[in-house]
A and B are shown apart, each in its own frame.
Chain A
Amino acid sequence: MQTTTLITNWDFNGYWLLVMLALPLLSLGMNVAFSKNERLPILSSALLFASTFIALFLLYSTWNSSLKFNLNWFSIGSNSYTITLLVDRISGLMLFVVTFISALVHWFSVDYMRDDAGRNRYFALLGLFTFSMLGILVTSNLLIIFMFWELVGLSSYLLIGYWFNKESAAAASKKAFIVNRIGDIGFVIGLAIAWFNFQSFDLLVIQESLNSSLPGVTVNLISICGLMLFLGAMGKSAQFPLQVWLPDAMEGPTPVSALIHAATMVAAGVYLIIRVSFLLSSDALLVVAVTGAITAFMGAYAALFQNDIKKVLAFSTISQLGYMIIGVGVGASDAAFFHLLTHAFFKAGLFLGAGAIIYAIHKAYPSDDVDAQDMRNMGKLKSAMPVTFSAYLVFSLALIGIPFTSGFLSKESILLGSMHAASTQGGLYWLVAGLGFLSVILTSFYVVRMLALVFFGTRRNSNEKAIKESSVTFKIVLLTLAVGSIGFVWSYNPFSVDSSWILNSINLRKYAQTELPHLLTSVLSLICISVGAGVALLGHKRDRLVPKNRSAVIALSLNNWYLDDIYQFIIITPFKALTRFLKQIEIKVLDRVVHLMAVSTAVLSHVIGWLDRHIVDGFVSASVYVVGRTGILTKSIQGGKVQSYILLAILGLIIIIFLVI
């Protein structure tokens, strides 16, 4: 966290913040209200670009002093609850990246979704998605973050299942939603512990009370709180063992994948864990680092032999998210954040590039007999789509981490952190660093394999007709993202991580830069890259990149470590058996008990009804009878006979006289 002064009064910038939040919401509202208007998608993109400019302005004006404002929410008794709006450098940068990527995705989608009937629903959901992600970023209140967190989950569910007529898309959206709920259980428990310990959801307050180490705050509990929040982040950021939803999320439209993988959904988890990393003790950090390392390795391995271009990218996202989590785990949260930013650019670019390619193939082969996402159907697209190729090349090199690209810098800083942790703390951290470097080999292999299959080699069976670049919009968007993936943008010296302005401006590390083994790390990772790339190129030469026979190694990769089957076997099948069993219990036992209760209630009510009629009503009618008879009796005295009145009056008089005398 920065230790600069805070802008505490609600000034000009605060209103811009709200405007920036409102613009995606406005896009949502307009697309819902005028769901047939064909010009709205362009207007939505314009709104998002406006939002981007506001984010840039906010970033500029809060660079040296964070924007912080306490908004009174409500109060119960003497406890008042506040929403703290906070924009510091981290959230400011994230705001910019999210709005920027989202705006580009909007713009890209205008052409991509032109012929889709539900186009306006799509743009409305994109607006909701962006809005909810921005909501996570602008506050430091964990409860508010959680609310927007759930909104992100909801909108990703809706977008993944956008083509809900497709059974696989509907299943994928359900899967994403349910797996995320598992993580959210952790989040809720973390919230409860945080409230129990600090009586506040506000991260700033929590950090303050942690620094002043109040009595009664147990360190273990705080660590558990951090780990529980990490569980939430595992769900969102697709960490082992909750990463199974991400590959299936490819069922959504490709630009949505770009948004999910780059800026919104998965970034939310990493962002959260960066924010709450101060809660984690060293043991908890080790858990985080190992989880990240396992995820990075498993993701990279699963990407090795995939044939679907989007699946390769999905698994590479899991792998890269693993790197970010490693960064947090080894105490280099700023490196993780750096990688989050650079990854946002090149991964959005990769997905949009893939989208452009898929779109072009669809256009060339309108019939459905060619699988437009299968890399085995592509090949030699370099000459057909030169602009897409060059941009895609930049993104791919950034993903591998070649020098002069942004990926080199950020991945380097994470590997540096892991090397440092390994050399100082040893033990499992060596495993983390080892898996990190191993994943570099795998990454360079699958990326080079993908490039070779898509852009080089021979034209394959479906490629006879000319595939052309599709749209100017596509090109502009891709080239913009390509510029963002070049190393010079992030550091004026593209070989040195230390001169990166982002890392220097957000210093979250617990160690000095100088003690790091820079040269060793760089050389090691370059060796790893060349090994992976060399193997892939060799395979390309011999035309063996698409394996003919399926060995166990390849099958393991293709099926993502059989995780789905394992979950099916361990969790889903027993769970279904349990539900069947419970259903039987329900029918055989519970229903009967309920039925018995109903019958006995009916009998009882009949008895009570009889009692009511004959006893309770009997009392009432008896008293009515008595009163009635009395009335009839006394009525006869008032007989309308004047003379009897007089007689009675005289008698009364006589009685009074006798009494007086």
Chain B
Amino acid sequence: MMLELFIVSAFLFSIGLAIVITRKNAIFVLMGIELMLNASNINLIAMGGANGQGVFFGLFVIVIAAAEAAVGLALVLKIYHHYNTIELDKVNELKD
């Protein structure tokens, strides 16, 4: 049972990571981050033991992820206002 959960978690994490690395759109990147968080949640629950203590951690993480997503989206909105784009490649003022 544990092994399957780990495999699912790893799979999910890899998908999130791939999204974060490959997608240009900031919203997608945020979504990738959410996936990675959920992968870690699965890990927490899998390791949490039979009594389900891990579930509480998972709940906390989901709540914090929601708050974090709100902050992230607000930042993306600001970026859009400022640059008229949310393509990460085009937000590169620090480059030069």
Which residues of B are found within 8 Å of A646, using beta-carbon distances? 20-21
Size band of the B side of the interface? 10 to 19
* Interface residues in A24-79 (C-beta closer than 8 Å to B): none
**By the criterion CB–CB under 8 Å, are B95 and A643 in contact?**
no
> How many contacting A-B pairs (Cβ < 8 A)?
23
Q: A650: CB under 8 A from chain B?
A: yes
In-complex Cβ contact of A640 among B20, B21, B22, B92 (8 A): B92
Q: Provide the residues of chain B in CB contact with A643, threshold 8 Å.
A: 20-22, 29, 88
User: Is A466 interfacial (CB 8 A cutoff)?
Assistant: no
Q: Does A647 contact B (CB under 8 A)?
A: yes
Binary flags per residue of A141-181, CB closer than 8 Å to B gives 1, else 0: 00000000000000000000000000000000000000000
Of chain A, the residue at the smallest CB distance from B94 is A640
B21 touches A641 (CB 8 A): no
Tell yes or no: A547 within 8 A of B by CB: no
**Chain A residues touching B, majority SS:** helix
Question: Closest residue of chain B to A644, judged by CB?
Answer: B21
Residues on A with beta carbons closer than 8 Å to the beta carbon of B96: 640
- Which residues of the partner chain A approach B94 to less than 8 Å between Cβ atoms? 640
Residues of A in contact with B, size category: under 10
A470 to B4, CA, bound (A): 147
Write out, one digit per residue, whether chain A residues 621-660 have a CB within 8 A of any chain B CB (1) or not (0): 0000000000000000011111100110010000000000
Smallest CB separation, B7 vs chain A (Å): 18
A638–B88 contact, CB under 8 A? no
Once the chains bind, are B17 and A640 in contact (CB under 8 Å)?
A: no
Residue of A nearest to B22 (CB): A643
Q: With a CB–CB cut-off of 8 A, which chain A residues contact B17?
A: 650
CB distance from A193 to the nearest CB of B (A): 84
Docked pose: A642 CA to B88 CA in angstroms? 7
Contact B95 A638 (CB under 8 A): yes
Name B29's closest neighbour in chain A (CB-CB): A643
CB B78 to nearest CB in A, in angstroms, measures 16
* A2 CB, nearest partner CB in chain B, Å: 98
Question: What is B's interface to A at a CB cutoff of 8 Å?
Answer: 17, 20-22, 29, 88-89, 91-96
Q: Which A residues are within 8 Å of any B CB, using their own CB?
A: 638-643, 646-647, 650
Query: Which 6 A-B pairs have CB atoms at the shortest separation, nearest pair first?
Result: A640-B95, A640-B92, A647-B21, A643-B21, A642-B88, A640-B94
Given contact pairs A640-B94, A643-B20, A643-B88, a sample of 5 additional A-B residue pairs in the complex whose CB atoms are under 8 Å apart = A638-B95, A639-B95, A640-B96, A643-B21, A643-B22
